[in-house]
Amino acid sequence: MLTHIVVLLSLAVDASAAWQRHVMTPKDDRFDTPPPRSLAYFTEYPMLRDKSGDFCYLCSPEKRLAEAKKEKIATEISLVGTLAGFQIYDLFYRFSCEGCVDWKLILVKTGQDQYREIYHVQPTQVDAHAAASFLVNVG
């Protein structure tokens, strides 16, 4: 079971600062710093968020979008909580095919329709489960 607990986020930085994202896919485990995006960026055509590089490999951007539009994937977003005035959300991509594994993102709302992705996981095992995040009060 894949569980991710948001224990502490360093939210003392302002909304325009660089926010690191942890990306885990079957092929990769890395940190990067993506720009802020609208919520629609994350919820429309989820296959365009494939970080493994497998979806429509070597397709042109136009072909990749056309293929992403064909995919039927449910998105489920839920508020985890608020830290230092920032709303934290879980976003799940729920696949309906047999053997498919759900993906999970954690988003931080940093402004009017501006979200920073800080966590992206595409589990590596068929029996893996991306669980809901929760906040823990320490100290």
Query: In which residue are the tokens 């660089």 written?
Result: 18
pLDDT exceeds cutoff 60 at 125: yes
Q: What's the predicted TM-score (pTM) here?
A: 0.82
pLDDT exceeds cutoff 90 at 107: yes
Q: How far apart are CA 49 and CA 47, in angstroms?
A: 5
Pairing of strands 21-24, 114-121: parallel
Q: What are phi and psi of 21, to 5 degrees?
A: -120, 140
Mean pLDDT (the chain) is: 84
CB neighbour list of residue 57: distance below 8 Å, 6 or more residues apart: none
Beta carbons of 138 and 9 less than 8 angstroms apart: no
Instruction: Give the residue-averaged pLDDT of 17-39.
Output: 91
pLDDT reported for residue 14: 61
